[in-house]
Amino acid sequence: MIERTPTGIPGLDEMLNGGIPKGYTVLIAGGPGSGKSTFAMQVLANGVSKYGENGVYISLEERATDIIKNFSPFGWDLSKIKIISMIPQKASLAKDVKYLSPEEVSGKAEEKNYLELNPKRFSVDTAKDVIIKEVAKTNAKRLVIDSLAGFSMQINDPFEIRQEILGLSNLLNNLGCTSFLLTEMPEGQKGVSRYGMEEFICQGVIALYNIRKGSERVRGLEILKMRGTKHSQKIVMLEIGPKGVVVYPDEELYRE
């Protein structure tokens, strides 16, 4: 029997044969407006409310307070999710400069469920330190990193970017929680990853689509990969409504 992490997203766990295998790192790839961040936060919110699993949401592109405000219309209880933003004031790689640790943040901020860390310079190593510390501190079983573009945009050398992403993947595999890496799906090229290797180092890949059909856009979802378990291979309809993401496993996005 495979122990699974159910997403709690209507229709999706049916396609996943019960959920994502526990401990997997899953790449969530999609273009603008496809619902990547909503999908990921909903999985964390469901983890807390339905399955008693703590979650950590790390954003490298958006302030934590803005994230909380943007997701408030869905009515999710985010109070038990640790939301951390790590946005450098200056985009440059400097391994000798560390982020502020939670212990260095004021007591008032420490009482809240979010942290906003704004170093003068970016360090991949200290970003990893924050991930390790917060997952351990909250006993998190679910982790989101939003996004790989934000993680790697501070590095100019393509080889170093790939090495850092590989190192991040190895770190996540050793954390013991189910992790979700968000990434922009590049337009006009084959594959779903920006650097051509993310889909191979992750155990699962879920693609989200936001395509134009006539005079409107429709959303879809495809499970491209989920290692070691059966899953649906259909590209199906997805909607984002007042309560979040809903997947329709019997409604195919493309019909002949």
82-138 per-position pLDDT tens digit = 999 988 765 444 444 344 444 444 344 445 899 998 876 667 787 889 999 999 999
How far is 246 from 256, CA to CA, in rounded Å?
23
Q: What range defines the domain where residue 171 resides? A: 23-224
Residue at 78 is within a domain: yes
CATH classification of the domain holding 165: 3.40.50.300
**In one letter, which amino acid is 211?**
I
Q: What is the pLDDT of residues 32-69, one digit of tens each?
A: 899 999 999 999 999 999 999 999 999 998 999 999 99
Residue at 252 is within a domain: no
Question: pTM, whole model, 2 decimals?
Answer: 0.89
Q: How confident is the model at residue 225 (pLDDT cuts 50, 70, 90)?
A: very high
Residue at 14 is within a domain: no
Q: Look at residues 31, 35, 33 and name the one whose alpha carbon lies nearest to residue 187.
A: 31
Taking CA atoms, 162 is separated from 165, 185, 244, in Å, by 5, 16, 33
Residue at 230 is within a domain: no
Residue at 67 is within a domain: yes
Task: Say whether pLDDT at 81 is over 70.
Answer: yes
Task: Say whether pLDDT at 16 is over 90.
Answer: yes
Q: What is the pLDDT of residue 121?
A: 65
**Number of domains the chain contains:** 1
Residue at 34 is within a domain: yes
Q: Classify residue 186 by its DSSP letter.
A: P
Q: What is the pLDDT of residue 157?
A: 84
Residue at 192 is within a domain: yes
How far is 196 from 210, CA to CA, in rounded Å?
21
Q: Are 51 and 6 in contact (CB under 8 A)?
A: yes
Q: What share of the chain is helix, strand, coil (3-state, %, to 5)?
A: 30, 30, 40
Q: What is the pLDDT of residues 178-218, one digit of tens each?
A: 999 999 987 766 678 777 788 999 999 999 999 988 889 99
Residue at 17 is within a domain: no
Q: How confident is the model at residue 236 (pLDDT cuts 50, 70, 90)?
A: very high
